[in-house]
Structure 1
Amino acid sequence: MPPMNVQDLVAIDVHTHAEVSATGHASLSDELFGASAKYFKEHPRPAIPEMAAYYRERRMAAVVFTVDAEHATGHPRISNEEVAESCAEHPDVLIPFGSVDPWKGRAGVREARRLVTEYGVRGFKFHPSLQGFAPNDPMAYPLYEAIEELGAIALFHTGQTGIGAGVPGGGGIRLKYSDPMLVDDVAVDFPELRIILAHPSFPWQDAALAVATHKPYVHIDLSGWSPKYFPPQLVRYANTLLKDKVLFGSDYPVITPDRWLADFDKLEIKPEVRPRILRDNAVRLLGLGDPDTMRERTTDA
């Protein structure tokens, strides 16, 4: 399989989920999956090779990850190694992220280092509500320190989650842990760490915008919501102060990029900002090339 040709891509989706392993093992328990399916509507659970074919057909690339929440849920994760190895079989369109439960302590730190150095993982997904921890809890700091040192990215779920929605007690999931203001402490204590705040952060959208505006290495991805439901202040900041820090993400497979992009086309985004959100900001953040040079080549052609 040829390497990724970033210049030929129309978009980079920075937020997709591997929901099922090659052996059929699901990333969540049946109870939590059922609640998520009801919240987002039923959807297919493609294996990683199917995801590669889907994005290749659309001339897009995708960041792929699962969520390791074994401590809080008791449900075994999908292997990070499987995700990374499967993505490595499709380097033209897939970019592997890992997920390490911060409750795993030193063992988790060792795993994170190995995933980056031996498997080419470029970042790590955290879901504070599902994993049952506050992002600014010092017990997670050795893991952040390793991620920062390795030059990888920390992507945090923020805002409400469909996982556990409608289940008594929300399936034990506490929404308070996904307040983006808790990540502000992480950005202060690890000033070189590249961070993505995932999703429009309902009910803390203004907090997410404040953190991303104030901290130079904090970005926002737009996954999990159809663009037609974006709060107006998110659209305003994406067009102006955060035009270089907002990223296209779909949350595939619960939301398809086809649906997301169709609604994004109707959003009042400046023409010069659209390619930044859809591709160029991710190119820079993921270290895939120089988007400014790419734009110059496109203009010259």
Structure 2
Amino acid sequence: MSAPSVDDLVAIDVHTHCEVSSKGHASLSEELHTASAAYFKVAGERKPTLEETAAYYRERRMAAVVFTVDAEHATGTEPIPNEEIAEAAAAHADVLIPFASVDPFRGRAGVRRARRLVEEYGVRGFKFHPSIQGFFPDDRMAYGLYEVMEETGTIALFHTGQTGIGAGVPGGGGIRLKYSNPLHVDDVAADFPHLKIILAHPSFPWQDEALAVATHKPGVHIDLSGWSPKYFPPQLVRYANTLLQDKVLFGSDFPVLSPDRWLADFAELPVKDAVRPKILKENAARLLGLTGSDSPS
């Protein structure tokens, strides 16, 4: 399938999830999936296939970064294969941008896996969810993965702040919020000064910490996924309009939050006309290395 000019895209969504494999294998246990659906008030089925996700974004003239979360060490749940996501993205190169996920507990084998995913499958970045994976981002066991990412120019995207996964389950399903304080990414940004980093979500209850890290470290960006813009903290909107206008990115958290709802609520925010296109597309295109004639692939 031929790829359109990035100039023709309405937006680039840097945060979407693959929640089911082609064989019907889910990325979360049924308990955690049900609790997450309740937390986000998702009605009906929310496990679109990669083909359905591609069609959804193509209809809206958007591109989407898509990934899963490999947290097998902590959860015991086998991840959706990164290779499957990358192959689907290649088949739908006009709209899907492949990221991968490698559990830091995989050690050297994980580092080899990450390099192969970049070199053989063309993934553009890696998703980490410290709370689900059960590690602090500045734990040295993950540094081998960051070395590969810095060397290959791929992006490290970290979940930050509270998570809907495990919310309402006794004990939060064993998921610990402390791992996702964005200050733990500050050491990573200092130790890997050329690593491209995205702090995912408004980082409640650590929004100011996220803003501080993104303001201080040139390689750190913030995506706005997982929240309706009408609930954004005022300081996040203020920084997005000013100091961080070139480092804030549109993300929805599809399928738990639709880009349609996100964009409708974003239209009501007091964001400068000159800043809106940066957040919706231009900042992501630059970070991903896309140009007006490049495909998302």
How far off its partner does 1:290 sit?
A: 6.8
Aligned length: 291
Give the Cα–Cα distance (whole angstroms) in 1 for the partners of residues 230 and 145 of structure 2: 36
Give 2:127's aligned residue.
Answer: 125
Give the Cα–Cα distance (whole angstroms) in 2 for the partners of residues 246 and 180 of structure 1: 15
How far off its partner does 1:42 sit?
A: 2.7
RMSD of aligned residue pairs (Cα, Å): 1.0
Give the Cα–Cα distance (whole angstroms) in 2 for the partners of residues 223 and 204 of structure 1: 15
Give 2:75's aligned residue.
Answer: 73
Give 2:182's aligned residue.
Answer: 180
Give the Cα–Cα distance (whole angstroms) in 2 for the partners of residues 5 and 36 of structure 1: 36
Give the Cα–Cα distance (whole angstroms) in 1 for the partners of residues 292 and 233 of structure 2: 30
* 1:179-238 deviation digits (Å, cap 9, x = unpaired): 000000000010000000000000000000000000001000000000000000000000
How far off its partner does 1:3 sit?
A: 2.2
Give 1:21's aligned residue.
Answer: 21
Give 1:5's aligned residue.
Answer: 5
* 1:156-201 deviation digits (Å, cap 9, x = unpaired): 0000000000111111100000000000000001000000000000
How far off its partner does 1:45 sit?
A: 1.2
Matched, 1:257 2:259: yes
Name the structure, 1 or 2, with higher relative contact order (CA <8 Å, separation 6+).
Answer: 2
How far off its partner does 1:57 sit?
A: 0.5
SS of 1:28's partner is coil
SS of 1:136's partner is coil
Matched, 1:101 2:100: no
Amino acid at match of 2:152: L
Give 1:206's aligned residue.
Answer: 208
Give the Cα–Cα distance (whole angstroms) in 2 for the partners of residues 281 and 244 of structure 1: 6
Give the Cα–Cα distance (whole angstroms) in 1 for the partners of residues 108 and 191 of structure 2: 19
- Gaps spanning 5+ residues in structure 1: where? 292-301
SS of 1:34's partner is helix
* 1:257-290 deviation digits (Å, cap 9, x = unpaired): 0000000000000000000000000000000027
1:143-158 matched pairs, under 5 angstroms: 143-158=145-160
SS of 1:196's partner is strand
How far off its partner does 1:4 sit?
A: 4.1
Q: Cα–Cα, structure 1 residues 244 and 290, in superposed 2: closer, same or farther, change >3 Å? A: farther
Answer whether contact 1:284 1:290 (CA < 8 A) is retained.
no
How far off its partner does 1:253 sit?
A: 0.2
Give the Cα–Cα distance (whole angstroms) in 2 for the partners of residues 181 and 268 of structure 1: 28
- Gaps spanning 5+ residues in structure 2: where? none
Give 1:294's aligned residue.
Answer: none
Matched, 1:113 2:90: no
